[in-house]
């Protein structure tokens, strides 16, 4: 059986590949660098990124103390690491699916029967109204003071390359002022949720004249503070940059492929696009790299962009398009299965569209790898974190359950990614499938939270562990909690303790059975995932 033809709408600069790019196992890319180690940088860790760096989970930003940057800072023994916090009713914003599901379980039990649908709708609307009031009119609407200490985690969920270059707290304030909130009984969602979240990150990121700074310029200002000894030199010890996912993520939130075109670099116009053409990504990435090179950071770690179609929010349905193919004929929401899915009615991508998106992301990552290599050849101590390669190696339905679909490089890079021993000891072993659980416990998944896009707490722990390995390779020193006593040997995340902090793993919801009916019901009645897109996830 031959594969279907590629859609004619794919731009000419997208180089469609038969298999994904081979992961880069060497963070140095084989280029030796001798970094300057004079003095003690004032800021041990600064991070720039989107939802993966801010600590987004299950449809909301809330658990920022368990983001991968916070976990790394804890391992460093550095208690001064600053990051925004989000609390209030509903545990974060815009919509915490885990919170909603647990509230429904408490009210209606493990299943929502047909006669409870109307009371269930009322209950969810009450919860959403309480969340909306808190963030729009109550304590959550209070903007952090401009003279607060600048954050070290400068990530904002939903931001793409252009946002990271240009969006500031003042622009967020302008957006809120131009769109004052209304208490809409029908459409109960926190308006300007992304801007409200961003203000907690960036309102204190200002220059001497009080002008607000975009994330890259905020990091530049931190770097300019220099070492503790002299106030000159590198003010940041390790800078982690993990951006670019939102230049393609809209394709699986909408299940539409809209390639970037005129206005791709205009924040007022580019929300219409769901995937950036490689030539447009390169134009934006070149500007990002130029900004990073100006930041006074001793070590820089830059991440590749994950293949968004691996995220379990996009479930492959039907028989694979050909023997040995990694693609299914269609990708849709995970609550549809082979029997219930109807391509005439249900949102979806085709397998060939998924291949084109993945191929474009491979080209993004070729650019990222080349920029790190070039920087090292210039003598800069930059490193590559191949997150895309890591996630490819845990892709359960794509590769693990179908050995024939594995790429030619599979064995050369060690095959399946080996999770830390405490995670392998869990039953079932966490995997990349959409989270499912019932009264007996977790049935599958565990690496991705309930939105099917972002990691669980243990998933963030895996990311932190891999970055710690790179930091140790760079010569970064790690300390005990006292910040003074050195940690000797390989520094490891305490996954046993992290499991106890991961509510989905420790105490799985009892209503997320194989049909995923509750999440599907929530999305059908409240357009949860459409709202995530409008909130710029």
**Which residues constitute the domain of residue 346?**
43-534
Which CATH number does the domain housing residue 518 bear?
Answer: 3.40.50.1110
Residue 338 maps to a domain: yes
pLDDT-derived band at 205 (thresholds 50, 70, 90) equals very high
Residue 472 φ then ψ, to 5°: -65, -40
Yes or no: say if 157 and 194 are a contact pair by the CB < 8 Å rule.
yes
Q: Is the pLDDT of residue 288 over 80?
A: yes
Residue 1 belongs to a domain: no
Tens digit of pLDDT for each residue in 89-129?
989 999 999 999 999 888 888 776 756 678 888 888 899 99
Contacts of 106 (CB under 8 A, 6+ apart): none
Asked whether residue 409 is domain-assigned, the answer is yes
Characterize the bridge pairing of strands 236-242 and 43-49. parallel
- Domain-located, residue 16: no
Asked if residue 64 is part of any domain, the answer here is: yes
Residue with tokens 């009916």: 517
pLDDT of 251 higher than 50: yes
Do residues 522 and 97 lie in contact, with contact meaning Cβ atoms separated by under 8 Å? Answer: yes
Q: At what angle do helices 351-377 and 278-294 cross, to 10 degrees?
A: 30
Band of pLDDT at residue 537, cut at 50, 70 and 90: very low
63, part of any domain: yes
Distances (CA, A) of 245 to 52, 242, 348: 9, 8, 19
Residue 24 lies in a domain: no
**Nearest-angstrom CA–CA distance, 72 and 464:** 6
Lowest-pLDDT range of 136-150, 293-307, 445-459, 509-523: 509-523
Cα torsion through 171, 175, 180, 186, rounded to 10: -140
- pLDDT at residue 261 above 60? yes
Q: Per the structure, how many domains does the chain have? A: 1
CA-CA distance, 332 to 317, in Å (whole number)? 7
**The pLDDT value given to residue 534:** 47
Separation in Å, CA 304 to CA 62, 318, 363: 25, 30, 10
In a domain, 442, yes or no: yes
Q: Which residue has the tokens 């009645």?
A: 525
Place of tokens 């003690």: 40
Would you say residue 33 has pLDDT above 90? yes
Residue 1, judged by CB atoms within 10 A of its CB (0-12, 13-18, 19+), counts as: exposed
Distance CA 280, CA 127 (A): 41
437 backbone dihedrals φ, ψ, rounded to 5°: -155, 160
pLDDT band for 449, please (50, 70, 90 cuts).
Answer: very high
């Amino acid at each position: 059986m031959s594969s279907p033809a590629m859609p004619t709408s794919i731009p000419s600069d997208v180089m469609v590949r038969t298999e994904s790019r081979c992961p880069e196992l060497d963070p140095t890319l084989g280029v030796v660098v001798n970094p300057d180690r004079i003095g003690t940088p004032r800021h041990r860790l600064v991070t720039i990124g989107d939802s993966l760096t801010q600590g987004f989970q299950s449809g909301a930003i809330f658990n920022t103390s368990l983001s991968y940057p916070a976990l790394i800072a804890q391992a460093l023994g550095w208690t001064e690491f600053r990051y925004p916090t989000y609390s209030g009713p509903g545990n974060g914003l815009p919509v915490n699916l885990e919170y909603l599901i647990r509230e429904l379980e408490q009210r209606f039990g493990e299943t929502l029967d047909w006669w409870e649908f109307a009371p269930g709708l009322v209950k969810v609307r009450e919860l959403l109204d309480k969340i909306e009031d808190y963030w729009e009119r109550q304590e959550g609407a209070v903007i952090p003071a401009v003279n607060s200490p600048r954050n070290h985690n400068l990530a904002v969920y939903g931001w793409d390359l252009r946002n990271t270059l240009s969006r500031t707290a003042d622009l967020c304030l302008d957006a809120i002022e131009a769109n004052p909130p209304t208490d809409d009984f029908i459409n109960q969602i926190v308006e300007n949720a992304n801007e409200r979240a961003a203000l907690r990150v960036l309102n204190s990121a200002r220059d001497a004249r009080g002008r607000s700074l975009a994330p890259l310029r905020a990091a530049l200002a931190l770097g300019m503070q220099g070492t503790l000894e002299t106030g000159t030199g590198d003010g940041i010890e390790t800078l982690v940059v993990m951006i670019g996912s939102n230049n393609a993520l809209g394709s699986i939130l909408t299940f539409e492929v809209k390639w970037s075109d005129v206005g791709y670099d205009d924040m007022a116009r580019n929300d219409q696009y769901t995937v950036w053409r490689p030539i447009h990504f390169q134009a934006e990435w070149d500007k990002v790299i130029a900004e990073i090179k100006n930041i006074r950071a001793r070590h820089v770690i830059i991440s590749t962009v994950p293949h968004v179609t691996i995220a379990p929010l996009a479930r492959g349905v039907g028989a694979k398009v050909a023997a040995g193919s990694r693609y299914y004929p269609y990708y849709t929401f995970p609550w549809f299965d082979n029997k219930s899915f109807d391509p005439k009615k249900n949102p979806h991508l085709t397998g060939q569209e998924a291949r084109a998106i993945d191929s474009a992301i491979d080209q993004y990552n070729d650019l990222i790898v080349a920029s790190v290599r070039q920087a090292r050849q210039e003598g800069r101590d930059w490193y590559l974190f191949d997150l895309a390669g890591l996630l490819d190696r845990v892709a359960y339905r794509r590769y693990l359950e179908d050995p024939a679909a594995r790429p030619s490089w599979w064995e050369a890079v060690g095959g399946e990614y080996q999770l830390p021993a405490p995670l392998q000891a869990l039953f079932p072993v966490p995997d990349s499938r959409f989270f499912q659980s019932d009264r007996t416990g977790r049935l599958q998944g565990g690496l991705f939270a309930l939105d099917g896009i972002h990691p669980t707490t243990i998933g963030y722990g895996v990311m932190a562990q891999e970055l710690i390995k790179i930091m140790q390779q760079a010569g970064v020193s790690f300390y005990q909690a006292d910040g003074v006593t050195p940690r000797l040997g390989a520094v490891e995340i305490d996954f046993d303790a992290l499991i106890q902090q991961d509510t989905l793993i420790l105490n799985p919801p009892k209503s997320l059975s194989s049909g995923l009916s509750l999440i599907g019901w929530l999305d059908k009645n409240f357009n949860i995932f459409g709202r995530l897109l409008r909130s710029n996830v």
